[in-house]
Amino acid sequence: MKSINPMVWIKGNSDTWFDGGFNILEPKTKIEKCLYNNYEFVLKCLTDEDLKILKRLLVIQKLEVNDYKVLCVHGSPRKINEDLSHNESEEQLKTILEGVKEDIILSGHTHKLQL
């Protein structure tokens, strides 16, 4: 993980698994079993230092690029696992983005899991 050198590195919702607690999950559904198997695999691949890095990541980072203020989040500015997508109504987006002052928002929680 040390070789990765991004401008900003934020915590995603799956990264919170390594903060503790995920290992007590008893997967019941097909999706839960898949997620748990992924968690166990990744946990075996990470070093203690990798885990420390993941635990220290912030959920929100701000930066300035060419006079633009940029807000970087995994989900939305208010929740790590909340979508910001074209499916949200204008009213929903206004509520989600209330108080945001930045010019640009970068959000990564747009994936879809299908089994």
Do 48 and 67 reside in the same domain of the chain? no
pLDDT, mean over the chain:
87
Distance, in Å, from the CA atom of 71 to the CA atom of 89, rounded to the nearest integer, reads 21
Do 80 and 98 reside in the same domain of the chain? yes
pLDDT 10s digits, 42-51? 989 999 999 9
3: in domain: no
pLDDT 10s digits, 16-27? 888 876 766 678
Computed from CA positions of residues 77, 80, 82, 84, in that sequence, does the dihedral angle turn out positive or negative?
positive
Q: What is the pLDDT of residue 91?
A: 93
In this predicted structure, the answer to whether residue 41 has a pLDDT above a threshold of 70 is yes
pLDDT 10s digits, 69-98? 999 999 999 999 888 888 889 999 999 999
27: in domain: yes
Residue 72 exposed, middle or buried by CB count within 10 Å (0-12, 13-18, 19+): buried
Residues 91-108, mean pLDDT to the nearest whole number: 93
Q: Which domain holds residue 15?
A: 8-57
Q: What is the pLDDT of residue 10?
A: 93
Number of domains in the chain: 2
